Amino acid sequence: VLFLLGLYFVLSVIAVVKVKPLWAKGVVLLVALLLPTADAVYGRYKLKQMCAAEGGLKVYRVAENVQGFAGVATSDVWIKEYGFQFSEGERAKGKYYRISKQNNQIIVEENITPKSQYQVISVKTRGKAQYWKNAYVVQDMQGEVLAEDTQISFRGGWAERFLGQFADAGVGTVASCPNQETRSWFRLVNIVTNILKH
């Protein structure tokens, strides 16, 4: 990495020295300074536009009298802390379970037939794209979307991604939608408690 940075610096100095007119030297220097960061600057600008258009919580309909729901983060927390009567999940393909409260005790029922009318799913778009999207979607069992909370992250310009390969954690995100909750659990609680009313 240091070798490549040094080589880039040397080539930039040679280019500035070789160019004759003073105005051209300024242009070459400006290009040399902007070249490693231009896509990072544009990427952050595009992120801001994407966040305004697609990011954050979008509510299309609120469901009333919801006893419980299926989907991500099936837990007794929904019963103990948020007042739902049950929470359902899928252990394996076609094998469902339900957590509920009966006689003041939390019980887990296995191999049940789901009775949820609503589900909360997590949709992640990752891979090698420069922008990662992570959304929680509340929908009914027929697929109608009631609400979605989308967080968009930018992985950086080419120089940031290149240098990130040498870090222990690898290439990560360098920017996310501003003024949005980034912690997954709080986003999940927010969308569930605001959309599924019991």
When pLDDT is cut at 50, 70 and 90, the band that residue 123 belongs to is very high
The torsion angles phi and psi of 168, rounded to 5 degrees, stand at -60, -35
One DSSP character per residue, 82-121 reads T--SEEEEEEETTEEEEEEEETTEEEEEEEEPP--SEEEE
Q: CB neighbours of 182 closer than 8 A, spacing ≥ 6?
A: 151, 176
Check whether 1 has a pLDDT greater than 80.
Answer: no
Task: Give me the mean pLDDT over the 26-54 stretch.
Answer: 87
Mean pLDDT for the chain overall: 88
Q: How confident is the model at residue 107 (pLDDT cuts 50, 70, 90)?
A: very high
pLDDT score, position 149: 94
Confidence of residue 48 (pLDDT cuts 50, 70, 90): very high
Q: Which residue has the higher pLDDT, 182 or 104?
A: 104
pTM for the whole structure: 0.76
Q: What is the pLDDT of residue 7?
A: 81
Q: Which amino acid is at 52?
A: A
> What's the CA gap between 51 and 149, in Å, rounded?
11
Comparing 180 with 62, which gets the higher pLDDT? 62
Interval 181-189 mean pLDDT: 84
CA 114/CA 183 separation, integer angstroms: 29
Q: Percent of the chain having pLDDT more than 90?
A: 49
